[in-house]
Amino acid sequence: MSEKAYGKLKILNLMDILLHQTDFENPMTAVQLCDELQKRGIKAERKSVYSDISALNEFGFDIRKRRSDVSGFYCKGSFLKNGQIQLISDFLMSADFLDEKASFEILSKLFAFSKKSFFEGEQEYRNNFKTENEEVLKNIENIIKAIEERKQVDFIYDKGLVISEQKLETIEEKRTVTPVKTKMLKSGYFLVGKDEDNQIACWRIDKMRLLKISGKKALDFDSEEIEKHFINNRFVSDLSQEVELICKNSCVERVLDLFGSDIVIRKYDEDSFLIKEKVNFDEELISFIFCNSESIRVKSPERFKKELLERSALLTNNYKDSPM
């Protein structure tokens, strides 16, 4: 091993010792730190330990020297604060697009930079719902590599479940797309790119299987044009239309939760407000309007109002002859 590489290995092990084996009550002298490094097969002198501690402090660690009856160095705070680690941990474990194994792998590496042990809260983290797709992290790595190499990617995409011959079957299709970026949206973690027809679209990464980098060159794209398809953290397709909704003042928070806090709200009358927003006429929007039918109604376009009326009539017919 070269001297440079050996030096890097020494400072990493010193960081680990200070993080996990010292605190205010249990500091270590430079001699003791050298002894701990020796146990790991790493030779060190007191002078180099002082230099490495100084470098760790400059990097962001909080390593202090206690001068009293029990003297020595101890790590008061880690590179990441407990609150920061907790925030990242909670996000990782609530991310249902990551399987449990991948989540724990990331967390164990994250906690290596903390004085707190990952295993202290491991059981708590195991209660979260996670996807069974163990290819997500590998998919993300291949997507990033394909973007860097300006190549397309091939994958099998899960479009949903159907009942066939009294059993559930997954509808899948092969896709070849040009990856542009990954993006977290309200409904999951997505790959944004161009499809085979050169249309801008997005796909949930946890619904991809057998993703690999294609030999095909990526299609040309305009990053600014793609960004225009994202409004208030929602993807808006080329087929989207502008919708006007009249909403009761009492449901303003529900409207902001769906459309985002950046939408323009205009007064309609004393009890209502009007929003005008470019949206996809998808199941999410239709369900939202049905669930809030007492507070929200569509002003335009006529096509969307007609679709809602047809669905309402279908719902009524389904229960027409049902016993009360």
- Please, which pLDDT band fits residue 9 given cuts at 50, 70 and 90? confident
- Please, which pLDDT band fits residue 148 given cuts at 50, 70 and 90? very high
222 and 194 Cβ atoms separated by less than 8 Å: no
The DSSP secondary-structure symbol of 196 reads: T
pLDDT in tens, 49-60: 999 999 988 887
Query: What is the structure's pLDDT at 218?
Result: 93
CA 216 to chain CA mean position, Å:
28
Model confidence, pTM: 0.59
Q: Which residues make Cβ contacts (< 8 Å) with residue 229, sequence separation at least 6?
A: 200, 235, 236, 237, 238
DSSP string, 242-260: EEEEEEEGGGHHHHHHHH-
CA 323 to chain CA mean position, Å:
46
Q: Over 70: is that where the pLDDT of 257 sits?
A: yes
Q: How far is residue 117's CA from residue 76's CA, in Å, rounded to a whole number?
A: 15
